[in-house]
Structure 1
Amino acid sequence: MRTTQLFGNAYSFGNLKELFAKANEEKSGDQLAGIAAADAKERMAAKLVLADVTLAEIRNEPLLPADIDEVSRIIEEGVDEPAFSSIASWTVGELREYILHQGTTGRHIERISFGLTSEIIAAVTKLMSNLDLVQAAAKIEVLTTCNTTIGQRGVLASRAQPNHPSDQVPGMLASLYEALSYGIGDAVLGINPVIDSPENVKRLLEATKEVMAKWEIPTQNCVLAHIQTQMQAIRQGAPADMVFQSLAGTEAGNRAFGIDLSLLDEADELIRAQGSSTGANRWYFETGQGSELSSESHAGIDQLTLESRCYGLARKYKPFIVNTVVGFIGPEYLYDSKQVIRAGLEDHFMGKMHLLPMGCDVCYTNHMQTDQNDMDNLGLLLGAAGVNFLIGVPMADDCMLNYQSTSFHDIATLRDVLRRSPAPEFAEWLGKMGIMNQNGLTPSAGDPTLFT
């Protein structure tokens, strides 16, 4: 039992699980789960108590024990013991002060990162303001290589998402050419398929590979089908640069996705043996706060902490890119623009604290209390925080998944405003194509007929 006095009221928290949940910023998902703070006073009381909890206490009181959950086992096995020992006596408040201190660099954070469990990273996130999350994440540079390398300081990479409502290749290519004409696609040419079959995945991978080969585009491809479908396609000869899978923060949540660690291990071995890329990083993971609650697999843990646990699992596989699909699940989990913006900054910071190449799908569903202006705000904040990549869809409206994201020209505008550039190899290619020069995009930019 942990207690405190605040504004003349006594507050008590029976265990760390309760304390973590009530220290969270307001989230409709935590309220739906019945674990959120009753009001702002209780939330502040929980934050004050959490600030005085030591990192050793968090590790010694697991929210979901490793003997009953394989995600917990992966997180625990990944702890660097000397790094943890050097900071075990710190409180969560002291960890926050260290991360935000002017003299603390990304290198300093990197040195302690593998001594932190995902729950410790979640705890310090709860004590940070939005500006804290931007400042801290901006310190951390994470470089990864598939066919090309992204993550350099001053680079804002992008995923081209040329989805089509019936997986027709000509329609997909029309969107892809528009994306490329705006300089979008240096992180990945990534398609969400309608038809989850090996034959269809293979067809889409071949189509994107043909475009990459014809125009000598320095990037990588991926089709975001279920991992088992991708594996079948690869075994049939599909040219996949990397493989994709959505992750949850509990073993039960991953089972709801139809995966477990043994399947991920098998896919990892396959993509390294038969994938078409040349680099060491060959995974693409997506996450998002609330998925465990939607599958009734949250184990009474708040959605921010579960999200951090997703990154603890992702870290095992050394991915090329990871992104939170921040507003995709709906208002049951993130009710409005304030909650979506907060979650996007939290997720990005937690991913970077795990030393992951973190991106974001700056997005929302049409029944949420938010709009495109709110997404512009989040995009700017993430750009300032050093996000590795964002996702672009035609006119910010995905015609297959039926949700709103950022458009190709939105990302181009963010690069211009924030003085960011595409990944170096891709920027050089854009120069050869006449799409970009040292001053930015040229008058030819935005014209997809360059490729027809």
Structure 2
Amino acid sequence: MAYKHTVGQRSYQFKDLKTLLAKASPRRSGDELAGVAASDATERVAAQMALADCLLTDFLEDFLLPYETDEVTRLIMAQHDPQAFSKISSFTVGDLRDWLLGESATTETISELKYAFTPEMVAAVSKIMRVQDLILVAKKCRVVTKFRNTIGLEGSLSTRLQPNHPTDDLLGISASIIDGLMYGNGDAVIGINPATDNIQNLSELLKLLDHVISEYQIPTQSCVLTHITSAIQLINKNVPVDLVFQSITGSEKANTSYGINLAMLREGYDAATSLNRGTVGQNVMYFETGQGSALSSNANFGADQQTLEARAYAVAREFKPLLVNTVVGFIGPEYLFDGKQIIRAGLEDHFCGKLLGVPMGCDICYTNHADADQDDMDTLLTLLANAGINFIMGIPGSDDVMLNYQTTSFHDALYIRQLLGLSPAPEFALWLSNNDIYTQSGNSINWSDKPSALLSGIMGN
């Protein structure tokens, strides 16, 4: 199906929906690298105007990737709820934008439509929204998940404590864990990116995390971010695995490049749930995504990176994850060139994920060769927190010494919690208080003047 729009004296034509979506995307270095971006701002505006006039029903007929050859497309269509969709089936993309920004779009009504939306629909509407629109609509969305605590509640902001170490040294990792806990970080997960990926090393890391959590009765969960096949092996060896991790993306070919498919994700999900390690819930999966991942594996098929990113959220929601994290600036400036592109992409990802019912967090980050700095990350952190992000990262000094990139620190979480009166997950907040770390009342964070029982116990050991 062809689409067209006239700007001034020039008529623009777009041969199909995939082309239209790509041309309508805000400027991305990755789309330019792939050769799918608009040639100039005028063509981009023409595409956005044409996209606004598209019927939502077009997205159920003109697939981004072929149904016959892409299992992610087949999953998207299997998830689609025609009965829920009937409420908005007459809408254009522009109508959907207007409705989402209106008073009738509430937390409840948006949630009821999460399976009426396809990823392509929510990606499309994001492309015709301003930054303030992305924030306002996402703020209406709430996605609450549970394992040993409750993440995503109104008025809360959780953090992943990320105690990475370049040699997986247990003492160094332990020091980072203590540091993070003293700042009130770690309620989303204590999650380590391992430097080496052999089973024995992974087992030692998981046993360390399990010991810390169980010894000090911390209402949180652990994860070592290894490949899902390794996690399954560890579960079969009775190693204490809380969350199963996997990077995912929006096309079957790209997922194949990661060594995964939907059946393998199902196997990992079933293995983790069989352990029944959660205390307040059984959301056992942790997924990470990022714009540009499909292109980086030569598996984008002429589609734009932001729409493919939204398709990854269809994969995620199939397995009821506790956490989904867009690692927004990690792949590098080839895909998101500067702070402006990173900020916009992070807000788009959060918006699209929340509309699809996904518990979105964000690794607010950049690589050292990107045209970005910590001021850009402060801006994105503040915007995402106002938009209702479920969780962010917490890393000593903002600098990951193992992965060599810049992200948010332990004290960044304190800043945004204090600024907006946000609290950790309620179970974790109670634990912080009981262990004489800090209590929070509204925007006030009150540090205990007593020595922390936790710190004293760990130092004693």
TM range (shorter): over 0.9
TM-score normalised by the chain length of structure 2: 0.96
Give the match for residue 43 of structure 1.
44
SS at match of 1:11: strand
SS at match of 2:100: helix
Aligned counterpart for 2:445 among listed residues 440, 444, 447? 440
1:125-274 mapped onto 2 (5 Å cutoff): 125-274=126-275
- Give 2:154's aligned amino acid: R
Give the match for residue 106 of structure 2.
105
Q: What does the per-residue CA deviation read over 1:346-389, in whole Å, with 9 as the maximum and x for residues that have no partner?
A: 00001101111110000000000000010000000000000000
**Aligned residues of 1:436 and 1:445 also touching (Cα < 8 A):** no
- Give 2:420's aligned amino acid: L
- Give 1:215's aligned amino acid: Y
Q: Equivalents in 1 of 2:111, 2:19: separation in Å?
A: 29
Q: Equivalents in 1 of 2:435, 2:332: separation in Å?
A: 40
Give the match for residue 403 of structure 1.
405
Provide closer, same or farther for how the CA distance between residues 388 and 445 of structure 1 changes in structure 2, counting only shifts above 3 A.
Answer: farther
Provide closer, same or farther for how the CA distance between residues 446 and 234 of structure 1 changes in structure 2, counting only shifts above 3 A.
Answer: farther
Give the match for residue 361 of structure 2.
359
SS at match of 1:245: strand
Report the Cα offset of residue 290 of structure 1. Answer: 0.1
Give the match for residue 277 of structure 1.
278
Q: What does the per-residue CA deviation read over 1:309-343, in whole Å, with 9 as the maximum and x for residues that have no partner?
A: 00011110010010100000000000000000000
**Aligned residues of 1:199 and 1:233 also touching (Cα < 8 A):** no
- Unaligned stretches of 5+ residues in structure 2: none
Runs of 4+ that moved beyond 6 A:
445-448
1:414-433 mapped onto 2 (5 Å cutoff): 414-433=416-435
Provide closer, same or farther for how the CA distance between residues 328 and 160 of structure 1 changes in structure 2, counting only shifts above 3 A.
Answer: same
**Aligned residues of 2:276 and 2:282 also touching (Cα < 8 A):** no
SS at match of 1:281: coil
Report the Cα offset of residue 98 of structure 1. Answer: 0.7
Q: What does the per-residue CA deviation read over 1:59-112, in whole Å, with 9 as the maximum and x for residues that have no partner?
A: 111111221100111111001110122222210000111111133211111112
Q: Equivalents in 1 of 2:427, 2:183: separation in Å?
A: 16
Segment of structure 1 superposing worse, 359-368 or 5-14:
5-14
SS at match of 1:38: coil
Segment of structure 1 superposing worse, 128-137 or 271-280:
271-280
Q: Equivalents in 1 of 2:43, 2:282: separation in Å?
A: 46
Say how many residue pairs are matched: 452
Give the match for residue 90 of structure 2.
89
- Unaligned stretches of 5+ residues in structure 1: none
- Give 1:177's aligned amino acid: I
Report the Cα offset of residue 252 of structure 1. Answer: 0.3
Q: Equivalents in 2 of 1:51, 1:444: separation in Å?
A: 57
- Give 1:403's aligned amino acid: Y
Give the match for residue 306 of structure 1.
308
Report the Cα offset of residue 275 of structure 1. Answer: 5.3
Aligned counterpart for 2:330 among listed residues 325, 328, 331? 328
- Give 1:272's aligned amino acid: T
- Give 1:210's aligned amino acid: H
- Give 1:440's aligned amino acid: I
Q: Equivalents in 2 of 1:360, 1:441: separation in Å?
A: 27
Identity of aligned residues (%): 48
Q: Equivalents in 1 of 2:184, 2:239: separation in Å?
A: 26
